[in-house]
Structure formats: structure tokens, C-alpha cells
């Protein structure tokens, strides 16, 4: 298993174990995708050329920012999800969507250059309180706008 800093280009595989509510999951630098077509799109070039590939690459860079350790990254990831469980009553997916790691990955998935640098914005998103996240989740699930734009317009201003 390679350290996150040693992964320059993620590879992808079709995942037989992925629930249909997931699109992909990155485990130790490999993106496991719901469909073969998604995996092929990631594998077809050395460039970041899809939102999915960018999103999953951001997760690799985030792991690099947690002392270059997959173990520390996944422990922090799980801990953030557990901390968000009180907002599950807004929507079953809210604890996942409003995790710091996911907020950063969704926010910057359209900026393919972003995932080539240090991805540490999650540390800022970590400062959001559960009360703020609950309010944001209610607002998001009421209006259902494009999530990266929602983060830019509604979440980012709270960080300043």
C-alpha cells in the first residue's frame, strides 16, 4: 500500500460491494466506482478529466495532509461522520455531505487544478458547529441546489 503522497494518479475499479446510493469511494488511493464506465473514465488518461476523478483525488491529497497516513485519515473521516450524526434527522445523507472532508471535495471538484495542490480546506470546514451544519443541511435539502455552489454561497461565507 502506497502512502498518499506517493500516489500521483489514482486508478479505478468497478466495485461489487458499493451500495447503489454511492457513486464511488476511495480506499487507499484506488477509486472504487459504481459502474465500469466511471472506472474506465478515470483510468483512460493521466489527466484529471472528470468531477468524479477530481473529487476522489482531493480525498487522496486530504489523506496526505493527515501526516501522510491512510489510518489517520480514515480515523478522522469516521470521527467526523460520527460527530455529524445529530443532523441525520434533517436527511439521512446529511452527516456524510456536511463532513469537512466531503465539503472540501465537493466544493473543489470542478476545479481540476485544486486537487494537484495541498488540500487542507477541510481544516476550516471542521470549525463549523453542529448547529450551523443542521441549519445548512435544512437549507440545502429544502432547495436542493448544485452542492458545490451551495457550499460556495452558503458555507464558505461562514468561515470568514
Range of the domain at 79: 4-159
Q: How far is CA 88 from CA 5, 98, 100, in A?
A: 33, 10, 16
pLDDT, tens digit, 9 for 90 and up, residues 23-82 = 999 999 999 999 999 999 999 877 777 899 999 999 999 999 999 999 999 999 999 999
- The pTM for the full model equals 0.94
84: Cα within 13 Å, side-chain hemisphere: 31
Task: Indicate the number of domains in the chain.
Answer: 1
The model's confidence at residue 20, banded by pLDDT at 50, 70 and 90, is: confident
CA dist 120 and 104 (Å) reads 8
pLDDT, tens digit, 9 for 90 and up, residues 97-142 = 999 999 999 999 999 899 889 999 999 999 999 999 999 999 999 9
Length of the chain: 160
Do residues 11 and 42 make contact, with C-beta atoms less than 8 angstroms apart? yes
Amino acid at each position: 500500500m502506497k502512502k498518499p503522497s506517493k500516489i500521483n494518479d489514482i486508478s479505478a475499479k468497478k466495485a461489487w460491494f458499493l451500495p447503489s446510493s454511492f457513486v464511488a469511494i476511495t480506499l487507499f488511493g484506488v477509486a472504487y466506482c459504481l459502474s465500469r464506465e466511471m472506472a474506465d473514465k478515470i483510468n483512460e488518461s493521466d489527466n484529471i478529466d472528470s468531477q468524479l476523478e477530481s473529487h476522489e483525488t482531493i480525498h487522496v491529497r486530504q489523506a496526505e495532509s493527515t501526516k501522510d497516513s491512510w489510518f489517520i485519515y480514515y480515523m478522522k473521516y469516521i470521527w467526523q461522520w460520527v460527530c455529524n450524526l445529530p443532523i441525520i434527522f434533517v436527511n439521512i445523507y446529511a452527516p456524510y455531505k456536511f463532513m469537512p472532508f466531503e465539503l472540501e471535495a465537493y466544493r473543489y471538484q470542478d476545479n481540476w487544478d485544486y486537487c494537484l495542490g495541498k488540500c487542507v480546506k477541510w481544516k476550516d470546514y471542521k470549525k463549523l458547529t453542529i448547529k450551523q451544519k443542521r441549519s445548512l443541511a435544512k437549507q440545502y435539502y429544502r432547495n436542493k441546489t448544485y452542492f458545490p455552489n451551495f457550499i460556495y454561497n452558503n458555507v464558505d461565507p461562514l468561515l470568514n
